[in-house]
Amino acid sequence: MTPREIHSEIVTSGRLSSAQIDGWRQQGYALVNGLIDPSLQQQMLDLAEATFPAAGSAAAEKVTGFGSNGALVFPSPHTIFNEITLDSALLQAVADLLGTEIAQLRLTQSDLWPKYGRSERQSEQDNRDQRMHVDYPNHSLVHPPRWDAPEAVELILYYSDSADCGGETAVVPRTGPEDPAYRWPIIDAPGIGDLRFVNDRAAAEAYLSEKAPEMAQFRAALYEREARIAYVPGDLLLYRHDTWHRGTPLKSGARRLAHNMTFRVAVAEWVSTLHPGWAWSAYQKDQFFEKWIGEASVHQRCVMGFPAPGNAYWTKETLAAVTARYGIFGFDPTPYEPC
Ligand SMILES: O=C(O)CCC(=O)C(=O)O
Ligand SMILES: [Fe+2]
């Protein structure tokens, strides 16, 4: 059976519609386009094109696994990357999905990376044809809370076209609270409990049919129900730590560029930060990080964990001290003035 294809919906008013929000909350995903300014995305694409090996090149052969190995992660010396990561329409969309304010969001992942198409898998940890999975095990110290109280939004912003590259992300749309595919707790995957982590689909399912046959059967139904994200450039897949999904093979020789991001609510401290973070960026040449802090909006700073206006941190003394550090880079203390 050919899997069903999912196509994006255009966001018209700069904000997700209530149907799109509801789709994410009920089915576990939404696929939209038009949230982020196309000219920003074009700048980002130009940078990504220049950063990563071309499709079919010898250098591309050596690239495996997830992520850019630090090449395009937050914070980046390339301001465009930071601007897209903390884009105001994107932050508003995430806040709308979680039913919260932008000031309550925290960034935990931002990594733009290339995936290359190969005809064969290289090992059982290859991400070419992934096993069905949920992402929480490497994003959370615990388990996602109950379905109707989500604490994080994951997303993939695609810069390529699935018609050229293949490599559609597959998702299992949740049909409702009684959907057997979403039985709780969500532990039916390799890498959880005493099951070893296996990324490749064929290897994972062979392992599970030996080790946990009931689980293998349960998972066979997930593959049967998967729908494919037929992405075009600018498409934004919004999903969750408890959404069943997987990466599927790219066309041989193709390159897909996609940007993964995750935001959590501030209180969910057990949701881990996946990118290297900013600590060592504060000692880099050109002081790109301090410049970024100086120029960022109050919301953007907040989503990085900088104290929000009104936070008890802000006193006359701390405000003067922070201004002494960042004033040279354009930091405006006004919004942080204590009452
Ligand atoms: O590459 C994709 O389309 C999905 C990747 C993914 O789900 C993962 O690596 O966790
Ligand atoms: Fe995943």
Domains and CATH numbers, the chain: 5-181+224-275 (2.60.120.620)
Judged against a pLDDT cut of 90, whether residue 62 lies above it is answered with no
Query: Which of the ligands is closest to the CA of residue 64?
Result: 1
For helices 88-98 and 18-27, what crossing angle results, to 10°? 60
Q: How far apart are the C-alpha atoms of 170 and 124, rounded to whole Å?
A: 19
For a pLDDT cut of 70, what percent of the chain falls above it? 100
CA distance 247 to 250: 9
The residue whose CA has the least distance to atom 4 of ligand 1 is: 247
Residue whose CA lies nearest to ligand 1 atom number 7? 246
| Centroid of ligand 2 to alpha carbon of 134 (angstroms) | 6
Which ligand 1 atom sits closest to the C-alpha of 256?
Answer: 1
Q: Is residue 43 within 8 Å of residue 64, measured between CB atoms?
A: no
Gap from CA of 71 to ligand 2 centroid (Å): 20
Q: Which atom of ligand 1 is nearest to the CA of 167?
A: 3
Residues with CB under 6 A from ligand 1: 66, 115, 127, 135, 169, 245-247
The residues, any chain, with a CB within 8 Å of residue 8's CB and separated by 6 or more, are 31, 32, 33, 231, 232, 235, 236
pLDDT recorded at residue 119? 86
Q: Output the residue whose Cα is nearest ligand 1's atom 2.
A: 247
- Average pLDDT in the 39-47 region? 98
Measured from the Cα of 135, ligand 1's closest atom is 10
Q: How far apart are CA 305 and CA 329, in angstroms?
A: 19
Q: What is the mean pLDDT of residues 312-324?
A: 98
Sequence-distant (≥ 6) Cβ neighbours of residue 300 within 8 angstroms: 82, 86, 91
Residues 199-242 have pLDDT tens digits of 999 999 999 999 999 999 999 999 999 999 999 999 999 999 99
- pLDDT exceeds 80 at position 71: yes
Q: Is the pLDDT of residue 339 over 90?
A: no
Task: Tell how far the Cα of 199 is from the centroid of ligand 2, in angstroms.
Answer: 10
pLDDT band for position 61 (cuts 50, 70, 90): confident
User: Which residue minimizes the CA distance to atom 1 of ligand 1?
Assistant: 247
Question: 105: CA distance to ligand 1 center in Å?
Answer: 23
pLDDT category of residue 59 using cuts at 50, 70 and 90: confident
Task: Spell out the residues 6+ positions from residue 57 whose beta carbon is closer than 8 angstroms to its own.
Answer: none
Provide the mean pLDDT of the chain.
96
> Of all protein residues, whose CA lies closest to atom 5 belonging to ligand 1?
247
> What's the whole-model pTM score?
0.97
Looking at this protein, which amino acid is placed at residue 326? Y
pLDDT for residue 64 = 78
CA distances, 139 to each of 242, 254, 269, 271 (Å): 11, 29, 11, 6
Give the helix ranges, DSSP H, for 258-306: 288-295, 298-303
List, for residues 255-288, the tens digit of each pLDDT value: 999 999 999 999 999 999 998 888 899 898 899 9
Q: Pocket of ligand 1, candidates 66, 127, 239, 256: which has the most ligand atoms within 8 Å of its Cβ, to mutate?
A: 127
Separation between Cα atoms, residue 3 and residue 172, nearest integer Å: 11
Query: What confidence score (pLDDT) does residue 305 get?
Result: 96
CB atoms within 10 A of CB 315: 10
Q: How far apart are CA 68 and CA 66, in angstroms?
A: 7
pLDDT value for 264? 98
- What distance in Å separates the CA atoms of residue 68 and residue 53, rounded to the nearest whole number? 11
